[in-house]
């Protein structure tokens, strides 16, 4: 849809999020109906965001889970690429959650960048590894992350940064448009449709991808807590949402709309191929070998 409601925004528009957009695009939607910016390449001036966040002393935690086979398969490439592209110029602290702390690659990190390894248990079912992340994220924000960082991003490990993923992505509550759904009609969104599940929803704004979400420590902690409660409630009722934690995340963002939305440029699947609206792919899905990685 063509965005006909483009408004020039400035620093004072919004109490929590900085929006410094000088240009606009007409081939994509750059604002949500509730006024949150949708970040596309070409609508923002990167150095203005960097300057502002340096002045505000923003700092960013990046949480990533690398449990079992995912550690060897993905963590090295993820971290090496994030050193080159993720929030360069701001203090960054990685939080690596793994059951194999001794196998975390020993990396030379840039200035003001550090890494903390937190041991977690493996789960026998992959759906449980994925869903347990919400509880661990909430607990760790409370106990550690909020003391090191103003903002936090939570990401899947099976991806590689390929271009700037910078401070323009920071906000109070940040969601990502799923690459496979951003240009599909709402009827095609794969929300959880089972009324027995707490992730059940009939309609929504967008289909968001759980591979990237973020925000202030307080907002992400609240999100992770609510999603985990929903997951627990489902377990008690003997149901599991269609796309696990992603279904609960979509429900959360429907009830608590994000203050900033990232275009699929921020997490693109190269399998989709070239699209004229994707001007730069900043983070790419890594190829999966399901047989090897998902034995059960």
Residues near ligand 2GW, by CB under 6 A: 64-70, 126, 129-130, 156-158, 209-211, 243-246, 293-294
245 binds, among Mn ion, ligand 2GW, none (CB under 5 to 8 A by kind): ligand 2GW
**Contact of residue 293 among Mn ion, ligand 2GW, none (CB under 5-8 Å per partner type):** ligand 2GW
- Note the Cα 23 to chain centre separation in Å: 25
Q: Does 246 bind Mn ion (CB under 5 A)?
A: no
Calculate ∠ Cα 50-166-285, nearest 5°.
Answer: 175
**With contacts defined by CB under 5 A, how many residues of the chain interact with Mn ion?**
2
Q: Which does 79 bind (CB under 5 to 8 A by kind): Mn ion, ligand 2GW, none?
A: none
Q: Which is nearer to Mn ion, 21 or 158 (CB)?
A: 158
DSSP string for residues in 104-149: S----PPTTEEEEEEE----SSHHHHHHHHHHHHHHHIIIIIHHH-
Say whether residue 158 binds Mn ion (CB under 5 A).
yes
Partners of 212 in beta bridges: 155
Report CA dihedral (85, 88, 91, 93) to the nearest 10 degrees: 10
50 vs 246, beta carbon nearer ligand 2GW: 246
Q: How many CB atoms lie within 10 A of CB 180?
A: 15
- Cα–Cα distance between 104 and 75 in angstroms, integer? 8
User: Which residues in 194-213 contact Mn ion (CB under 5 A)?
Assistant: none
Of ligand 2GW, Mn ion, none, which one sits near residue 37, judging by CB under 5 to 8 A according to partner kind?
none
Phi, psi at residue 173, to the nearest 5°? -145, 115
Give me the least distance between CB of 155 and ligand 2GW, in Å please. Answer: 8
Distance CA 35, CA 7 (A): 9
Q: Give the residue with the Cβ less far from Mn ion, 43 or 211.
A: 211
Closest CB to Mn ion: residue number: 156
Beta carbons of 131 and 40 less than 8 angstroms apart: no
Work out which of 17, 50, 156, 265 binds Mn ion, going by CB under 5 A.
156
Strand partners, 200: 192
The residue among 111, 84, 73 whose CA lies nearest residue 293 is 73
Residue 265 touching Mn ion (CB under 5 A): no
Q: Does 269 bind Mn ion (CB under 5 A)?
A: no
Residues contributing to the site for Mn ion (CB under 5 A): 156, 158
């Amino acid at each position: 849809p063509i965005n006909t409601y483009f408004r020039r925004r400035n620093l004072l528009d919004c109490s929590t999020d900085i929006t410094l957009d000088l240009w606009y695009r007409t081939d994509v939607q750059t604002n949500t109906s509730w006024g949150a910016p949708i970040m596309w390449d070409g609508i923002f001036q990167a150095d203005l965001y960097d300057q502002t966040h340096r002045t505000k002393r923003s700092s960013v935690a990046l949480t990533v889970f690398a449990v079992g086979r995912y550690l060897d398969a993905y963590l090295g490439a993820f971290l090496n690429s994030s050193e080159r592209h993720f929030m360069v110029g701001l203090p960054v602290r990685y939080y690596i959650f793994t059951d194999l702390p001794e196998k975390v690659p020993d990396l030379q990190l840039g200035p003001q960048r550090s890494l903390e390894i937190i041991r977690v248990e493996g789960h026998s079912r992959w759906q449980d590894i994925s869903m347990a992340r919400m509880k661990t994220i909430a607990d760790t924000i409370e106990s550690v992350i909020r003391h090191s960082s103003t903002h936090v991003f939570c990401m899947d490990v099976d991806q590689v940064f390929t271009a700037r993923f910078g401070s323009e992505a920071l906000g109070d509550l940040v969601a990502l448009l799923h690459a496979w759904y951003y240009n599909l009609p709402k009827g095609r969104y794969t929300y959880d449709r089972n009324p027995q599940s707490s992730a059940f929803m009939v309609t929504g704004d967008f289909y968001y991808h759980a591979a990237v979400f973020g925000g202030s420590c307080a907002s992400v902690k609240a999100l992770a807590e609510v999603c985990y409660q929903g997951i627990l409630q489902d377990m008690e009722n003997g149901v599991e949402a269609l796309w696990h934690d992603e279904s609960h995340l979509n429900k959360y963002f429907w009830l608590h709309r994000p203050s900033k939305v990232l275009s699929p440029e921020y997490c693109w699947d190269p399998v989709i191929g070239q699209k004229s609206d994707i001007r730069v792919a900043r983070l790419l899905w890594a190829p999966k070998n399901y047989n090897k990685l998902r034995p059960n």
